[in-house]
Structure 1
Amino acid sequence: MGNLLSAVQPPPPPPMVLVPPLFDYPPLAARTRMLESSYNLLFGKLALKCLFEDYFEEARHFSTRIMLKPIDDPHVDLIATVGGPLDHKVDEKIVGNAQFRWQSDVDDPHTFVDLFVSNSEPTLVMRSCAYYPKFGFGAFGIFPVLMKQRVSSEDYGVMGLRYGSPNLSVGASIIPFTAGDELPKNAWLVSKMGRLTAGVQYEPKFGSKDEARYKNLANWSCAVGYGLGSGSPLSPSFNFGLELARNSQFIASFYQHVVVQRRVKNPLEENEVVGITNYIDFGFELQTRVDGDKSSNNIHDSTFQVAASWQANKNFLLKGKVGPLSSSIALAFKSWWKPSFTLSVSAVRDRIKAETAFGFGIRVDNIREASYQRADPNFVMLTPSKEHLAEGIHWKSGKRPLLESDVSSGNFDGVPRELRPLNKIL
Structure 2
Amino acid sequence: MGNSIFSKEPPPPMVLVPPIFDFPPIAARTRMMVPAYELLFGKLALQTLFEDYFEKASHLNTRILLKPLEDPHVDLIATVTGPLGKNSGRTIEGNALFRWQRNLDDPNTFMDLSVSTNETMLRLRSCSYYPKYRFGAFGIFPLLNLKRELPEDYGVMGLRYGSEKLSIGSTFMPFPLSRGTPTSAWLVGRAGRLSVGVQFKPLRESKKPMCFKDLNNWSCAIGYGAGSSSPLCPSYNFSLELVRSSKLIASFYQHIVVQRKVKNPFEESQVVGITNYIDFGFELMTRINQDKSSGGADNSSFQLAASWQANKNFLVKGKLGPFCSSVALAFKSWWRPSFTFSITAINDRLRGTSFGFGLSVEDLREPSYQRADPNYVMLTPNKEHLAEGILKDLGKRPLYQSNIDSGNYDNLPKELKPLGKVI
TM-score of the superposed pair, with normalisation by structure 1: 0.91
Q: Deviations over 1:215-256 (max 9, x none)?
A: 111110000101100221111000101000111110000000
Give the Cα separation in 1 of the matches to 2:43 and 2:407. 23
Matches within 5 A, 1:219-230: 219-230=217-228
Over 3 Å counting, the alpha-carbon distance change for 1:117 and 1:377 in structure 2 is farther
Residue type of the alignment partner of 2:362: D
Distance 1:379 1:178, change over 3 A: farther
Structure 1's 404 and 154: CA in aligned 2 closer, same or farther, altered over 3 A? closer
How far does residue 176 in structure 1 lie from its aligned partner after superposition?
1.8
Q: Which residue number in structure 2 is paired with residue 165 of structure 1?
A: 163
Q: Are 2:379 and 2:401, in contact at CA under 8 Å, matched by a contact in 1?
A: no
Task: Choose which of 91, 96, 99 in structure 2 pairs with 1:101.
Answer: 99
Q: Residue in 2 aligned with 1:142? A: 140
Given the superposition, is the C-alpha separation of residues 264 and 184 from structure 1 closer, same or farther in structure 2, using an over 3 Å criterion? same
- What percentage of aligned pairs have identical amino acids? 60
**Other-structure match for 2:357:** 360
Matched AA of 1:132? Y
Equivalence for 1:248: 246
172, 175, 200: which one aligns with 1:174: 172
State the 1:183 CA deviation: 2.1
Q: 1:380 to 1:321 in 2, by over 3 A?
A: same
1:306 aligned partner, one-letter code: L
After TM superposition, where is structure 1 displaced by more than 6 Å over at least 4 residues in a row? Answer: 296-299, 374-377
Alignment-mate amino acid for residue 281 of structure 2: G
List per-residue Cα deviations over 1:304-338 (Å, max 9, x = no partner).
01100000000000000111100100000000000
Amino acid in the other structure paired with 2:34: E
Describe the shift of the 1:179–1:100 C-alpha distance in structure 2 as closer, same or farther (beyond 3 A): closer
Match of 1:321 in 2: 319
In the alignment, is the contact (CA less than 8 A) between 1:377 and 1:407 conserved in 2?
no
Query: Higher mean Cα deviation, 332-341 or 89-98?
Result: 89-98
| Cα distance between partner residues in 1 of 2:235 and 2:153 | 39
TM-aligned CA deviation for residue 207 of structure 1: 8.9
Residue 413 of structure 1 corresponds to 410
| Distance apart, 1:196 and its partner CA | 0.4
Bigger Cα displacement from structure 2, 262-271 vs 276-285: 262-271
Name the residue aligned to 1:283: 281
Structure 1 SS opposite 2:379: coil
Aligned residues of 2:370 and 2:383 also touching (Cα < 8 A)? yes
Label 1:419 to 1:178 Cα distance change in 2 as closer, same or farther (>3 A): farther
Provide the TM-score with structure 2 as the length reference.
0.91
Q: Does residue 72 of the first structure (1) align with residue 70 of the second (2)?
A: yes
Alpha-carbon separation, structure 2, partners of 1:329 and 1:207:
36
More deviation in 183-192 or 143-152?
143-152
Aligned in 2, Cα 1:49/1:296: closer, same or farther, shift over 3 Å?
same
Write out per-residue CA displacement over residues 11-40 of structure 1, whole angstroms, 9 at most, x where no aligned residue: 222111111100000000000011111101
Structure 2 CA distance for partners of 1:368 and 1:293, relative to 1, 3 Å: same
CA displacement 1:343-366 (0-9 Å, x = unmatched): 00000001234x110000011111
Partner of 1:11: 9
Partner-residue secondary structure (3-state), 1:357: strand
- Which ranges of structure 1 fall in alignment gaps of 5 or more residues? 389-402
Question: For residues 331-342 of structure 1, what are the structure 2 equivalents within 5 Å?
Answer: 331-342=329-340
1:414 is matched by which residue type in structure 2? N
Say whether the 8 Å CA contact 1:181–1:209 is kept in structure 2: no
* Cα distance in structure 2, aligned partners of 1:191 and 1:299: 35
Matches within 5 A, 1:191-230: 191-205=189-203, 211-230=209-228
| Paired residue total | 409
- Work out the CA distance in 1 between the residues paired with 2:216 and 2:382: 50
Deviation at 1:299, TM superposition (A): 8.8
CA distance in 2 between counterparts of 1:217 and 1:75 reads: 44
* Maintained 8 Å contact 2:173/2:179: no
Q: Secondary structure of 1:215's match?
A: coil
Tell me the residue number matched to 2:269.
271
Q: CA deviation at 1:128?
A: 0.3
RMSD: 2.3
Provide the residue aligned with 1:116 in structure 2: 114
Matches of 1:210 and 1:280, distance apart in 2: 46
The code of the aligned residue for 1:344 comes to S
Q: Is the 8 A contact 2:151 2:178 kept in 1?
A: no
Q: Given residue 156 of structure 2, which amino acid in structure 1 is its aligned partner?
A: V
Q: Partner of 1:406: helix, strand, or coil?
A: helix
Which residue number in structure 1 is paired with residue 395 of structure 2?
Answer: none
CA distance in 1, matches of 2:187, 2:88: 45
Given that 1:39 and 1:188 are in contact with CA atoms closer than 8 Å, whether structure 2 keeps it comes out as yes
After TM superposition, the structure 1 stretch with the greater mean CA deviation from structure 2, 62-71 or 293-302, is 293-302
